[in-house]
Protein backbone atom coordinates (compact mmCIF):
# COMPACT_ATOMS: atom_id res chain seq x y z
CA UNK A 1 0.00 0.00 0.00
CA UNK A 2 1.20 3.45 -0.85
CA UNK A 3 0.54 6.53 1.18
CA UNK A 4 -1.78 8.75 -0.85
CA UNK A 5 -2.28 11.47 1.72
CA UNK A 6 -0.23 12.53 4.71
CA UNK A 7 0.77 15.62 6.61
CA UNK A 8 3.26 17.67 4.53
CA UNK A 9 6.85 17.84 5.78
CA UNK A 10 6.87 21.63 5.76
CA UNK A 11 4.47 21.61 8.71
CA UNK A 12 5.84 20.94 12.20
CA UNK A 13 4.29 18.46 14.61
CA UNK A 14 2.86 21.25 16.77
CA UNK A 15 -0.92 20.87 17.15
CA UNK A 16 -2.73 23.85 15.58
CA UNK A 17 -4.39 26.16 18.10
CA UNK A 18 -7.21 27.14 15.71
CA UNK A 19 -10.84 26.55 16.67
CA UNK A 20 -12.48 23.30 15.58
CA UNK A 21 -13.46 23.53 11.90
CA UNK A 22 -11.40 26.66 11.20
CA UNK A 23 -10.09 26.45 7.66
CA UNK A 24 -6.79 28.12 8.56
CA UNK A 25 -5.51 24.57 9.06
CA UNK A 26 -6.41 23.62 5.49
CA UNK A 27 -4.67 26.72 4.11
CA UNK A 28 -1.56 26.06 6.23
CA UNK A 29 -1.48 22.58 4.76
CA UNK A 30 -1.86 23.84 1.18
CA UNK A 31 1.03 26.26 1.65
CA UNK A 32 3.16 23.49 3.16
CA UNK A 33 2.28 21.14 0.31
CA UNK A 34 3.34 23.76 -2.22
CA UNK A 35 6.66 24.21 -0.38
CA UNK A 36 7.17 20.42 -0.30
CA UNK A 37 6.31 19.92 -3.94
CA UNK A 38 8.63 22.67 -5.13
CA UNK A 39 11.38 21.39 -2.79
CA UNK A 40 12.08 24.87 -1.42
CA UNK A 41 11.70 24.31 2.33
CA UNK A 42 15.39 24.90 3.01
CA UNK A 43 15.37 28.35 1.45
CA UNK A 44 11.87 29.54 2.31
CA UNK A 45 11.26 32.30 4.83
CA UNK A 46 7.70 32.98 5.91
CA UNK A 47 6.36 36.17 7.43
CA UNK A 48 3.63 35.70 10.03
CA UNK A 49 0.97 38.37 10.59
CA UNK A 50 -0.97 39.55 13.59
CA UNK A 51 -4.33 37.88 13.88
CA UNK A 52 -5.41 34.29 14.45
CA UNK A 53 -2.47 33.07 12.38
CA UNK A 54 0.01 35.03 14.52
CA UNK A 55 1.45 31.73 15.69
CA UNK A 56 2.05 30.46 12.15
CA UNK A 57 5.78 30.54 12.98
CA UNK A 58 5.21 27.52 15.23
CA UNK A 59 3.54 25.54 12.47
CA UNK A 60 5.71 26.03 9.40
CA UNK A 61 8.99 24.14 9.47
CA UNK A 62 10.81 26.80 7.44
CA UNK A 63 12.32 29.97 8.89
CA UNK A 64 9.69 32.47 9.98
CA UNK A 65 9.69 36.17 10.88
CA UNK A 66 6.92 37.84 12.87
CA UNK A 67 5.89 41.20 11.44
CA UNK A 68 4.15 44.07 13.18
CA UNK A 69 0.43 44.23 12.46
CA UNK A 70 -0.14 44.62 8.73
CA UNK A 71 3.52 45.13 7.87
CA UNK A 72 4.21 41.65 6.52
CA UNK A 73 4.58 42.77 2.86
CA UNK A 74 7.06 45.47 3.97
CA UNK A 75 9.07 42.94 6.00
CA UNK A 76 8.89 40.51 3.09
CA UNK A 77 10.15 43.24 0.75
CA UNK A 78 13.19 43.74 2.96
CA UNK A 79 13.82 40.02 3.25
CA UNK A 80 13.52 39.46 -0.49
CA UNK A 81 15.83 42.34 -1.34
CA UNK A 82 18.42 41.23 1.22
CA UNK A 83 18.08 37.54 0.36
CA UNK A 84 17.09 37.44 -3.31
CA UNK A 85 17.85 33.72 -3.60
CA UNK A 86 15.37 32.83 -0.87
CA UNK A 87 11.65 32.30 -1.28
CA UNK A 88 9.66 34.75 0.83
CA UNK A 89 5.96 34.40 1.57
CA UNK A 90 3.56 36.22 3.84
CA UNK A 91 0.48 34.67 5.41
CA UNK A 92 -2.06 37.32 6.37
CA UNK A 93 -5.67 37.63 7.42
CA UNK A 94 -8.16 40.23 6.28
CA UNK A 95 -7.76 42.45 9.35
CA UNK A 96 -4.01 42.41 8.80
CA UNK A 97 -3.80 42.77 5.03
CA UNK A 98 -6.97 44.67 4.13
CA UNK A 99 -7.16 47.04 7.10
CA UNK A 100 -4.05 48.18 8.93
CA UNK A 101 -1.73 46.73 6.29
CA UNK A 102 -3.50 48.06 3.22
CA UNK A 103 -0.78 50.59 2.40
CA UNK A 104 2.00 48.00 2.61
CA UNK A 105 -0.03 45.57 0.52
CA UNK A 106 -0.89 48.01 -2.25
CA UNK A 107 2.64 49.39 -2.48
CA UNK A 108 4.30 45.97 -2.44
CA UNK A 109 1.90 44.98 -5.24
CA UNK A 110 2.48 48.08 -7.32
CA UNK A 111 6.26 47.70 -6.95
CA UNK A 112 5.81 44.11 -8.15
CA UNK A 113 8.00 42.83 -5.31
CA UNK A 114 8.91 39.22 -6.06
CA UNK A 115 7.07 37.79 -3.04
CA UNK A 116 4.13 35.46 -2.46
CA UNK A 117 1.19 36.67 -0.39
CA UNK A 118 -1.40 34.31 1.03
CA UNK A 119 -4.43 36.38 2.03
CA UNK A 120 -7.00 34.64 4.20
CA UNK A 121 -10.36 36.42 3.96
CA UNK A 122 -12.97 35.32 6.48
CA UNK A 123 -14.88 38.61 6.67
CA UNK A 124 -14.30 39.17 10.39
CA UNK A 125 -11.63 39.89 13.00
CA UNK A 126 -11.16 36.43 14.49
CA UNK A 127 -8.49 36.71 17.17
CA UNK A 128 -9.92 39.79 18.89
CA UNK A 129 -13.36 38.25 19.19
CA UNK A 130 -15.37 38.89 16.05
CA UNK A 131 -15.38 42.61 15.28
CA UNK A 132 -16.37 43.98 11.88
CA UNK A 133 -13.54 43.82 9.34
CA UNK A 134 -13.11 45.81 6.11
CA UNK A 135 -14.24 42.64 4.36
CA UNK A 136 -17.38 41.99 6.45
CA UNK A 137 -20.41 41.62 4.20
CA UNK A 138 -23.22 44.22 4.06
CA UNK A 139 -25.71 43.33 6.79
CA UNK A 140 -23.30 40.94 8.50
CA UNK A 141 -23.79 40.82 12.26
CA UNK A 142 -20.54 41.14 14.20
CA UNK A 143 -19.58 42.31 17.69
CA UNK A 144 -19.24 45.88 16.45
CA UNK A 145 -22.14 45.79 13.99
CA UNK A 146 -24.83 44.12 16.13
CA UNK A 147 -27.60 45.29 13.78
CA UNK A 148 -25.70 44.18 10.71
CA UNK A 149 -23.07 46.10 8.73
CA UNK A 150 -24.73 49.36 7.72
CA UNK A 151 -23.13 50.44 4.46
CA UNK A 152 -24.55 53.97 4.83
CA UNK A 153 -22.33 54.67 7.83
CA UNK A 154 -19.36 52.29 7.56
CA UNK A 155 -19.14 51.79 3.83
CA UNK A 156 -18.78 48.72 1.72
CA UNK A 157 -16.50 45.68 1.93
CA UNK A 158 -13.19 45.86 0.09
CA UNK A 159 -12.67 43.38 -2.71
CA UNK A 160 -8.91 43.16 -2.46
CA UNK A 161 -8.25 40.95 -5.48
CA UNK A 162 -10.31 43.13 -7.82
CA UNK A 163 -8.74 46.29 -6.46
CA UNK A 164 -5.13 45.11 -6.75
CA UNK A 165 -5.75 43.70 -10.21
CA UNK A 166 -6.34 47.25 -11.49
CA UNK A 167 -2.67 48.00 -10.77
CA UNK A 168 -0.11 47.44 -13.49
CA UNK A 169 2.41 46.04 -11.00
CA UNK A 170 1.30 42.64 -9.76
CA UNK A 171 2.05 39.46 -11.64
CA UNK A 172 -0.62 37.09 -10.40
CA UNK A 173 -3.81 37.52 -8.39
CA UNK A 174 -6.37 34.81 -7.85
CA UNK A 175 -9.25 34.30 -5.44
CA UNK A 176 -9.98 30.76 -4.27
CA UNK A 177 -12.05 29.15 -1.50
CA UNK A 178 -11.61 26.15 0.76
CA UNK A 179 -15.23 25.20 1.41
CA UNK A 180 -15.22 21.89 -0.45
CA UNK A 181 -12.79 19.38 -1.92
CA UNK A 182 -13.06 20.77 -5.46
CA UNK A 183 -12.30 24.31 -4.32
CA UNK A 184 -9.48 23.09 -2.08
CA UNK A 185 -7.83 21.38 -5.05
CA UNK A 186 -8.14 24.60 -7.07
CA UNK A 187 -6.74 26.57 -4.13
CA UNK A 188 -3.78 24.23 -3.94
CA UNK A 189 -2.99 24.81 -7.61
CA UNK A 190 -3.23 28.58 -7.19
CA UNK A 191 -0.97 28.62 -4.12
CA UNK A 192 1.59 26.42 -5.85
CA UNK A 193 1.54 28.74 -8.86
CA UNK A 194 2.05 31.74 -6.58
CA UNK A 195 5.22 30.11 -5.21
CA UNK A 196 6.32 28.91 -8.66
CA UNK A 197 6.04 32.48 -9.97
CA UNK A 198 8.47 33.63 -7.30
CA UNK A 199 10.90 30.81 -8.04
CA UNK A 200 10.83 31.93 -11.69
CA UNK A 201 11.32 35.55 -10.66
CA UNK A 202 8.03 36.73 -12.11
CA UNK A 203 6.95 39.00 -9.28
CA UNK A 204 4.16 39.76 -6.84
CA UNK A 205 1.71 36.88 -6.52
CA UNK A 206 -1.31 37.08 -4.23
CA UNK A 207 -3.80 34.32 -3.54
CA UNK A 208 -6.93 35.41 -1.68
CA UNK A 209 -8.46 32.45 0.12
CA UNK A 210 -12.11 32.77 1.16
CA UNK A 211 -12.10 31.12 4.56
CA UNK A 212 -14.38 30.52 7.54
CA UNK A 213 -14.66 31.63 11.14
CA UNK A 214 -17.23 29.27 12.68
CA UNK A 215 -16.69 30.63 16.20
CA UNK A 216 -17.22 34.31 15.47
CA UNK A 217 -19.85 33.77 12.78
CA UNK A 218 -21.76 31.80 15.43
CA UNK A 219 -22.16 28.81 13.13
CA UNK A 220 -21.17 25.15 13.24
CA UNK A 221 -18.19 24.25 11.02
CA UNK A 222 -20.58 22.66 8.52
CA UNK A 223 -22.94 25.67 8.45
CA UNK A 224 -19.92 27.96 8.09
CA UNK A 225 -18.91 26.17 4.88
CA UNK A 226 -22.47 26.61 3.59
CA UNK A 227 -22.34 30.30 4.51
CA UNK A 228 -19.18 30.64 2.40
CA UNK A 229 -21.01 29.10 -0.56
CA UNK A 230 -24.21 31.12 -0.10
CA UNK A 231 -22.96 34.51 1.08
CA UNK A 232 -19.21 34.93 0.68
CA UNK A 233 -18.61 33.58 -2.81
CA UNK A 234 -21.44 35.62 -4.43
CA UNK A 235 -19.83 38.79 -2.99
CA UNK A 236 -16.27 37.60 -3.53
CA UNK A 237 -16.38 35.73 -6.87
CA UNK A 238 -13.65 33.15 -7.34
CA UNK A 239 -11.27 33.29 -10.26
CA UNK A 240 -8.02 34.55 -11.70
CA UNK A 241 -7.99 38.36 -11.59
CA UNK A 242 -4.56 38.87 -13.00
CA UNK A 243 -2.01 36.62 -14.62
CA UNK A 244 0.41 38.71 -16.60
CA UNK A 245 2.59 35.95 -18.00
CA UNK A 246 -0.47 33.96 -19.17
CA UNK A 247 -1.72 37.06 -20.98
CA UNK A 248 1.69 37.54 -22.60
CA UNK A 249 1.68 33.96 -23.86
CA UNK A 250 -1.76 34.48 -25.39
CA UNK A 251 -0.53 37.53 -27.27
CA UNK B 1 -8.61 -1.82 -0.07
CA UNK B 2 -7.75 1.49 1.47
CA UNK B 3 -6.59 2.30 4.94
CA UNK B 4 -7.33 5.50 6.82
CA UNK B 5 -5.31 6.27 9.93
CA UNK B 6 -6.54 8.86 12.42
CA UNK B 7 -4.18 10.66 14.77
CA UNK B 8 -7.08 10.88 17.22
CA UNK B 9 -5.36 13.14 19.73
CA UNK B 10 -5.04 15.92 17.12
CA UNK B 11 -8.74 15.74 16.20
CA UNK B 12 -11.02 18.56 17.32
CA UNK B 13 -14.21 16.78 16.33
CA UNK B 14 -15.29 19.48 13.86
CA UNK B 15 -16.87 16.86 11.62
CA UNK B 16 -15.80 18.33 8.27
CA UNK B 17 -14.44 14.89 7.27
CA UNK B 18 -17.79 13.27 8.14
CA UNK B 19 -19.60 15.50 5.64
CA UNK B 20 -16.90 15.12 2.99
CA UNK B 21 -16.96 11.30 2.95
CA UNK B 22 -18.81 10.16 -0.19
CA UNK B 23 -19.48 6.73 1.36
CA UNK B 24 -20.86 8.10 4.62
CA UNK B 25 -18.68 5.84 6.75
CA UNK B 26 -17.21 8.43 9.10
CA UNK B 27 -18.72 9.64 12.36
CA UNK B 28 -17.81 11.57 15.45
CA UNK B 29 -17.25 9.02 18.21
CA UNK B 30 -20.06 9.04 20.74
CA UNK B 31 -18.26 7.25 23.55
CA UNK B 32 -14.64 8.40 23.18
CA UNK B 33 -12.77 11.48 24.23
CA UNK B 34 -9.21 12.43 23.29
CA UNK B 35 -6.40 14.22 25.12
CA UNK B 36 -7.81 17.62 24.19
CA UNK B 37 -11.28 16.73 25.42
CA UNK B 38 -12.84 16.47 21.97
CA UNK B 39 -14.78 13.51 20.62
CA UNK B 40 -12.64 12.40 17.67
CA UNK B 41 -13.72 11.26 14.21
CA UNK B 42 -13.67 7.54 13.50
CA UNK B 43 -14.51 5.12 10.72
CA UNK B 44 -17.48 2.82 11.02
CA UNK B 45 -16.87 0.40 8.14
CA UNK B 46 -13.35 0.22 6.73
CA UNK B 47 -14.34 -2.29 4.03
CA UNK B 48 -16.40 0.39 2.24
CA UNK B 49 -13.54 2.93 2.10
CA UNK B 50 -12.41 3.76 -1.45
CA UNK B 51 -9.34 5.77 -0.39
CA UNK B 52 -10.45 8.99 -2.10
CA UNK B 53 -8.81 11.05 0.69
CA UNK B 54 -11.66 13.60 0.65
CA UNK B 55 -11.74 13.35 4.46
CA UNK B 56 -8.03 14.12 4.70
CA UNK B 57 -8.37 16.98 2.18
CA UNK B 58 -11.09 18.64 4.29
CA UNK B 59 -9.40 18.01 7.65
CA UNK B 60 -8.00 21.31 9.00
CA UNK B 61 -5.73 19.57 11.49
CA UNK B 62 -3.86 16.97 9.42
CA UNK B 63 -5.37 14.19 11.54
CA UNK B 64 -5.84 11.78 8.67
CA UNK B 65 -3.32 9.70 6.70
CA UNK B 66 -4.67 7.68 3.76
CA UNK B 67 -3.02 4.58 2.27
CA UNK B 68 -4.21 2.75 -0.77
B19–chain A Cβ distance below 8 A for any pair: yes
pLDDT tops 60 at residue A243: yes
Query: Does A35 map to a domain?
Result: yes
From chain A, which residues contact B within 8 Å (Cβ)? 1-8, 11, 15-16, 18-26, 29, 180-181, 184-185, 214, 220-222, 225
Q: Could you tell me what percent of chain A has a pLDDT over 70?
A: 99
Q: Which domain holds residue A197?
A: 24-250
Question: In chain A, how many domains are there?
Answer: 1
What mean pLDDT comes out for the span A92-102? 95
A173-204 pLDDT tens trace: 999 999 999 999 999 999 999 999 999 999 99
- How high is the pLDDT of residue A247? 75
State the Cα–Cα distance between residues A242 and A245, nearest whole angstrom: 9
State the Cα–Cα distance between residues A70 and A196, nearest whole angstrom: 24
B51–chain A Cβ distance below 8 A for any pair: yes
B22–chain A Cβ distance below 8 A for any pair: no
- What's the pTM? 0.96
Query: Does A108 map to a domain?
Result: yes
Q: Least CA distance to B38: which residue of chain A?
A: A20
B60 and A21: CB-CB below 8 Å? yes
Query: Does A1 map to a domain?
Result: no
- How high is the pLDDT of residue A45? 97
pLDDT tops 60 at residue B24: yes
Q: How many CB pairs under 8 A join A and B?
A: 76
What mean pLDDT comes out for the span A115-142? 96
Interface pTM (ipTM) of the complex? 0.95
Q: Which domains does chain B have, with CATH numbers?
A: 3-67 (3.30.70.20)
State the Cα–Cα distance between residues A145 and A137, nearest whole angstrom: 11
Kindly report the nearest CA distance between residue A31 and chain B, in angstroms.
Answer: 13
Query: Does A72 map to a domain?
Result: yes
pLDDT band at A248 (very low <50, low <70, confident <90, very high): confident
Query: Does A12 map to a domain?
Result: no
Task: With H, G, I as helix, E, B as strand and everything else as coil, classify residue B22.
Answer: coil
pLDDT band at A251 (very low <50, low <70, confident <90, very high): low
Task: With H, G, I as helix, E, B as strand and everything else as coil, classify residue B61.
Answer: coil
Give the CATH number, domain containing residue A63: 3.40.50.970
Query: Does A104 map to a domain?
Result: yes
Query: Does A111 map to a domain?
Result: yes
Q: Average model confidence (pLDDT) for chain A?
A: 96
B66 and A185: CB-CB below 8 Å? no
Task: With H, G, I as helix, E, B as strand and everything else as coil, classify residue B55.
Answer: helix
State the Cα–Cα distance between residues B47 and A168, nearest whole angstrom: 55
Q: How far is CA B11 from the centre of its chain?
A: 9
Amino acid sequence: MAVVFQKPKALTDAPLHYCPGCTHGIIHRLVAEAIDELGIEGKTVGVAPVGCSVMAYDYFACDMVEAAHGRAPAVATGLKRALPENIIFTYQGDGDLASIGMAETVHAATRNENITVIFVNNAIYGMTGGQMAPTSLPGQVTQTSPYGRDTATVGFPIRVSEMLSTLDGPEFIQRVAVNNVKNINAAKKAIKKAFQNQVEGKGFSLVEVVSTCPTNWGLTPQKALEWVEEKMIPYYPLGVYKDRSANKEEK
Amino acid sequence: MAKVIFDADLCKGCGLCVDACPKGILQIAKDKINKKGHSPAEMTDESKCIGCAFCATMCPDCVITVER
